[in-house]
Amino acid sequence: MENTTKRNDKERMRLGYNEIMIKRKKKETNECKNIEYTQEDRNTYGTTIPIEVNSLGDICFRWCDDIQSINIPINVSKIGDECFEYCTSLRIINIPTNVSEIGNKCFERCSSLKSINIESAKFITTDNVFFMNINEFIIPTSITKIADYCFYRCSTLKSINIPTSIIEFGFDCFSCCDSLSSITIPTSITEIGDWCFRESSNLVDIVIPCPIVKLKSMRFIKCSSLKSVDISAPIAKIERECFKECISLTNIILPTSLCEIGDKCFQKCKSLQTINIPSSVNKIGS
């Protein structure tokens, strides 16, 4: 429970399963902006969230390992950090339209979570939103960025549809996605973060058509199944260790715009027998 102005008198908020009773003495100018369901409230009143609540506090449902599903009221606009962390039995969750922010590590260690029903995906601008057992994910067109670590270690993620509204992939956002075999990068992408796809061991091929000017360091490092890379984007530089230890890589198409290849870029790419380096390249690292 938060108040935007100073309060001179005490207020008391009582949360129950089906209602919220707010009794307070306050100045006429005071206004209640937010009703937050906290971990203390959940311990006292249970796991049913009252409909008047509009935010879930940090660690609110942490270690609730017996809940399998949960209904988030339509008024909720914010879900705090680690809110559902270690809810190991949670299988499905519906996130309503009003949710615009989901905190860090919100679903971390939710090992049974198979489905997230999203009415609005504005929140995929927060680090470490999803974790572990998501199989398939469709990103609505309402967002522009997939943030750092967003799908990090989603080891069962097999498919993801990325709309053209997305312009940026964050740091490590698809790294260690062991079941992800292919991904289509839309032409709208202008930035791919460092280590973006690192150690995604089942990724077989990648096409980079987007209007970016360089591939940052270690973006595809240790993608052990990666066989083919087509860089049709007007890239001027491939940074250090970008494709290091891609042991299955046999074919890579480099653009004529390329000027520089960084250190150890293709180190330990033992299946790469030949590579055609454009005449535009004037610097190759060690």
Structural domains for the chain: 157-286 (3.80.10.10)
* Whole-number pLDDT of residue 121: 47
- Looking at residue 213, its pLDDT comes to 80
List of residues 6+ apart from 29 with CB closer than 8 A: 5
Partners of 276 in the β-ladder: none
d(CA 126, CA 184): 22
Q: Walk along the chain (286 residues) in steps of 10 and give the mean pLDDT of each run.
A: 42 41 38 81 94 95 94 91 92 83 80 71 49 66 79 83 88 90 89 92 90 87 95 91 96 95 96 94 93
Angle, alpha carbons 222-224-228 (nearest 5°): 105
Q: In angstroms, how far is CA 139 from the centroid of its own chain?
A: 11
Residue 112's pLDDT is what?
86
**Is 0.75 topped by the overall pTM?**
no
Q: What is the pLDDT of residue 109?
A: 82
